């Protein structure tokens, strides 16, 4: 009896379970029966975008709730490329270089230039090298290139190359001495060169354009000609016999002179250079215009003549050496060393304007050797007669140059 009751209970439970409907069925049946159902509240999460920091909003109905996200993965180049960094070729890009305030450099081929160097030049002229002692008998010129010379007001009126690769400016002191053939004369030797000397201070500028093979040099000199230039004192101190004819020298006169020289390369190779040159002098010392050719053969920097440290920022120790020749013809309108100063009416003897030779040819040849910071040039000059009755003339030059 108990087993019969137990079986009946199980059958009743199973029948009861199959008679229950799903929630959807219940809702459907209730809707058909007109029975109101309570509203079902569903919590949903809104779409999350990149860098979206809003919290999910609850209490809203949404049929298609989504959850989206994005991410970024960073990797080092070493995790991607199996090669050392030295073996990877960079893309072609340009980087801005920070320039040193005091020194800038340029590079043309295998050469570099240092802007604002300090250079000392000493130039000594004397006719004793050709065993004579007359006409242009002695000359000394000191040139000192200094960085602050470019800030001088005078430098603004000195011509140069606007787009130059490099250039520099400096100051100079010059003394030139001239005598007749017989400096021991006791009276005026008419028809010969008069005693004269001048002393000037000035400023000069040099600019160079390597690609165009162009250089421009200009200078402005101020000074005096006459006894105040101390020509007699200098020559008397270096002569065994005192030249007595200085009492007939030209009297004091103020000098101002502007000089410009332009040189342009016609042909250039590693060992040969041919340039065309033109120059002009305007002022109370000289008024003349000339032009000619310069030639170099050897091992040297193109265009520029000087220590390698002026054109090599790396300061590489480098030899330069060359043989050189030049020839230039000047058309002379006025020469104060022969004709006296423009404001001088007291000189006892001068060459008359009608006796002046208007066309003067000057040629020179020499050797130059430069190593690292230092250099020396030895040059000999030849001049055609400067006035009627004058002789052909020769004198020598030694030029020393150092870069600091």
- Is the pLDDT at 378 greater than 60, yes or no? yes
Question: Can you read off the two tokens belonging to residue 351?
Answer: 């060459």
Instruction: Write out pLDDT tens, residues 75-112.
Output: 555 555 555 655 555 555 454 444 443 344 444 443 44
- Is the pLDDT at 381 greater than 80, yes or no? yes
- Is the pLDDT at 270 greater than 80, yes or no? yes
Phi-psi region of 33 (alpha: psi -120 to 50; beta: other; left: phi over 0): alpha
pLDDT for position 72: 55
- Is the pLDDT at 215 greater than 60, yes or no? yes
- For residues 206 and 155, the answer to whether their CB atoms sit within 8 Å is no
- Is the pLDDT at 57 greater than 50, yes or no? no
Instruction: Write out pLDDT tens, residues 185-211.
Output: 889 999 999 999 999 999 999 999 999
Instruction: Write out pLDDT tens, residues 343-359.
Output: 888 899 999 999 999 99
The pTM assigned to this predicted structure is 0.72
- Residue with the larger pLDDT of the pair 51 and 149: 149
Domain 112-403 = CATH 3.30.750.24? no
- For residues 173 and 331, the answer to whether their CB atoms sit within 8 Å is no
Cα angle 223, 229, 230 (rounded to 5 degrees) comes to 160
Instruction: Write out pLDDT tens, residues 128-156.
Output: 999 999 999 999 999 999 999 999 999 99
For residues 142 and 397, what is the distance between their CA atoms, to the nearest angstrom?
Answer: 13
Question: Can you read off the two tokens belonging to residue 277?
Answer: 């040159």
- 313-318, long-range: CB within 8 Å, 24+ apart, which pairs? 313/103, 313/105, 313/112, 313/113, 313/114, 314/112, 315/372, 317/371, 317/372, 318/371, 318/372
- For residues 217 and 205, the answer to whether their CB atoms sit within 8 Å is yes
List beta partners, residue 217: 206, 261
Query: Where does the pLDDT of residue 183 fall: very low under 50, low under 70, confident under 90, or very high at 90 and above?
Result: confident
Query: Where does the pLDDT of residue 237 fall: very low under 50, low under 70, confident under 90, or very high at 90 and above?
Result: confident
pLDDT for position 317: 73
pLDDT for position 103: 41
Query: Where does the pLDDT of residue 48 fall: very low under 50, low under 70, confident under 90, or very high at 90 and above?
Result: very low
pLDDT for position 169: 96
Instruction: Write out pLDDT tens, residues 305-349.
Output: 988 777 654 456 789 999 999 999 999 999 999 999 988 888 999
* Domain locations in the chain as residue ranges: 1-85, 112-403
Question: Can you read off the two tokens belonging to residue 97?
Answer: 């270089």
Question: Can you read off the two tokens belonging to residue 150?
Answer: 């470019």
What's the per-residue H, E or C state across the chain? CHHHHHHHHHHHHHHHHHHCCCHHHHHHHHHHHCCCCCCCCCCCCCCCCCCCCCCCCCCCCCCCCCCCCCCCCCCCHHHHCCCCHHHCCCCCCCCCCCCCCCCCEEEECCEEEECCCCEEEEEEEEHHHHCCCCEEEEEEEEEEECHHHHHCHHHHHCCCCCCCCEEEEEEEEEEEEEECCCCCCCCCCCCCCCCEEEEEEEEEEEEEECCCCEEEEEEEEEEEECHHHCHHHHHHHHCCCCCHHHHHCCCCEEEEEEEEEEEEEEEECCCEEEEEEEEEEEECCEEEEEEEEEEEEEECCCCCCCCHHHCCCCCCCCEEEEEEEEEEEEEEEEEHHHHCCCCCCCCCCCCCHHHECCEEEEEEEEEEEEECCEEEEEEEEEECCCECCCCCEEEEEEEEEEEC
């Amino acid at each position: 009896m108990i087993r019969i009751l137990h079986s009946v209970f199980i059958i009743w439970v199973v029948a009861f379970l199959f008679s229950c409907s799903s929630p959807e069925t219940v809702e459907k049946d209730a809707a058909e029966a007109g029975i109101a159902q309570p509203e079902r509240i569903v919590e949903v999460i809104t779409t999350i975008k990149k860098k979206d920091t809003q919290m999910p909003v609850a209490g809203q109905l949404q049929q298609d709730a989504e959850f989206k996200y994005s991410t970024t993965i960073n990797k080092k180049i070493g995790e991607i490329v199996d090669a050392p960094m030295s073996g990877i070729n960079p893309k072609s890009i340009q980087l801005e270089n920070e320039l040193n305030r005091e020194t800038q450099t340029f590079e043309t081929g295998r050469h570099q230039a240092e802007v604002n160097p300090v250079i000392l030049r000493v130039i000594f002229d004397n006719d004793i090298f050709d065993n004579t002692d007359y006409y242009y008998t002695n000359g000394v010129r000191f040139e000192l290139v200094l960085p602050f010379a470019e800030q001088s007001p005078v430098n603004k009126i000195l011509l140069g190359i606007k787009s130059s690769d490099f250039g520099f400016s400096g100051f100079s002191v010059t003394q030139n001495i001239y005598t007749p053939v017989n400096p021991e004369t006791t009276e005026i030797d008419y028809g010969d060169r008069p005693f004269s000397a001048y002393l000037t201070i000035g400023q000069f500028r040099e600019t160079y354009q390597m690609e165009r093979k162009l250089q421009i040099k200009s200078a402005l000199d101020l000074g005096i000609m006459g006894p105040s230039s101390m020509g007699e004192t200098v020559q008397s101190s270096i002569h065994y016999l005192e030249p007595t004819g200085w009492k007939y020298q030209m009297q004091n006169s103020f000098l101002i002179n502007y000089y410009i020289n332009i040189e342009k390369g016609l042909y250039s190779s590693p060992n040969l250079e041919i340039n065309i040159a033109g120059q002009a002098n305007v002022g109370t010392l000289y008024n003349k215009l000339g032009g000619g050719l310069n030639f170099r053969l050897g091992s040297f920097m193109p265009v520029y003549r000087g220590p390698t440290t002026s054109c090599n920022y790396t300061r590489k120790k480098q030899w330069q050496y060359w043989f050189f020749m030049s020839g230039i013809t000047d058309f002379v309108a006025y020469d104060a060393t022969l004709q006296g100063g423009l404001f001088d009416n007291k000189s006892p003897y001068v060459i008359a304007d009608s006796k002046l030779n208007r066309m003067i040819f000057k040629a020179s040849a020499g050797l130059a050797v430069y190593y690292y910071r230092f250099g020396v040039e030895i040059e000999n000059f030849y001049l055609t007669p400067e006035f009627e009755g004058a002789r052909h003339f020769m004198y020598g030059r030694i030029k020393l140059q150092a870069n600091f």
